[in-house]
């Protein structure tokens, strides 16, 4: 999808985003699309002890939230790329979306290993995030890049919170979240370097409120 979006018509791009949303929401992880990076793994050594049932439930809830967050993150980038004015900005957004696709695949694999499932609200997260991303993009590339920077800053804090809440024995989930955090920090820094504009504080506050609604819902549903 990422390569063809650079040459397709606006309608074709929209249809491609819809196709991506369907695959993100319902397809197997291998059909989602990413950059092809392997799933992060803990450092070699003695295997971690098996999780107790309550630990596994807590880890699954947290990873379900992270999976839903990656559904939304991928959708935000696709929505912004859909209306980006400069080809270089569109390319940056699509490259970042591919890495968010990696995160989505890793979280889906970890949920399966924990014998759990993604959020049933993922289609809602995807559709809403595409619309939000497109609105940010319509405000101009500098605003769109600033939106990325603020989003990734908030995601970094959210991942720190989850790393603190993960069961100490869940080294597999921890390795995934640590790599995700490193990627998100880099995405935010790159957006600023490309001229991202600081967002007004009310907008950032609204973004935090929306994120809180999604994370609380996705943990259980």
| Domain segments of the chain as ranges | 18-28+51-220
Residue bearing tokens 């569109």: 90
Sequential DSSP letters for 134-157:
HHHHHT-HHHHHHHHHHHHHHHHH
Handedness of CA 7, 13, 15, 20 (dihedral sign): positive
Cα(54)–Cα(192) distance, rounded to whole angstroms?
41
Asked if residue 203 has pLDDT above 90, the reply is no
Which is nearest to 2 in space by CA: 101, 137, 86, 85?
Answer: 101
Q: What crossing angle do the helices spanning 141-165 and 122-138 adopt, rounded to 10°?
A: 140
- Supply 201's token pair: 């504080």
- Rounded percentage of the chain residues whose pLDDT exceeds 70: 76
Q: Which CATH superfamily is domain 18-28+51-220 in?
A: Ferritin, core subunit, four-helix bundle (1.20.1260.10)
How many CA atoms lie within 13 Å of 181's alpha carbon, on the beta-carbon side? 14
Mean pLDDT of the chain: 82
Which pLDDT tens digit goes with each residue over 107-146? 999 999 999 988 888 888 888 888 888 888 888 888 888 8
Q: And the tokens for 86?
A: 């400069």
Helix (H, G, I), strand (E, B) or coil at 27: coil
Q: Contact 188/148 with Cβ under 8 angstroms?
A: yes
Query: How high is the pLDDT of residue 125?
Result: 83
pLDDT tens digits for 53-70? Answer: 999 999 999 999 999 888
Contact (Cβ atoms closer than 8 angstroms) between residue 63 and residue 107: yes
């Amino acid at each position: 999808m990422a390569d063809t979006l650079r040459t397709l018509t606006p309608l074709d791009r929209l249809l491609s985003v819809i196709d991506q949303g369907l695959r993100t929401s319902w397809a197997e992880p291998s059909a989602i699309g990413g950059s092809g990076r392997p799933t992060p793994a803990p450092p070699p050594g003695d295997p971690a002890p098996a999780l107790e049932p309550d630990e596994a439930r807590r880890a699954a809830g947290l990873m379900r939230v992270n999976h839903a967050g990656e559904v939304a993150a991928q959708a935000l980038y696709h929505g912004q790329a859909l209306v980006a004015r400069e080809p270089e900005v569109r390319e940056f957004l699509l490259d970042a979306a591919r890495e968010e696709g990696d995160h989505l695949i890793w979280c889906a694999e970890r949920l399966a290993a924990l014998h759990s499932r993604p959020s049933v609200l993922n289609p809602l997260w995807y559709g809403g995030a595409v619309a939000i991303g497109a609105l940010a993009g319509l405000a101009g590339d500098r605003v769109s890049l600033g939106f990325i920077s603020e989003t990734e800053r908030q995601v970094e804090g959210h991942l720190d919170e989850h790393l603190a809440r993960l069961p100490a024995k869940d080294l597999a989930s921890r390795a995934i979240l640590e790599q995700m955090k490193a990627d998100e920090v880099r995405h935010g820094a790159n957006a600023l370097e490309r001229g991202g504009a600081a967002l007004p504080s009310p907008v950032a506050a609204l973004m935090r409120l929306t994120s809180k609604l999604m994370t609380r819902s996705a943990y259980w549903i």
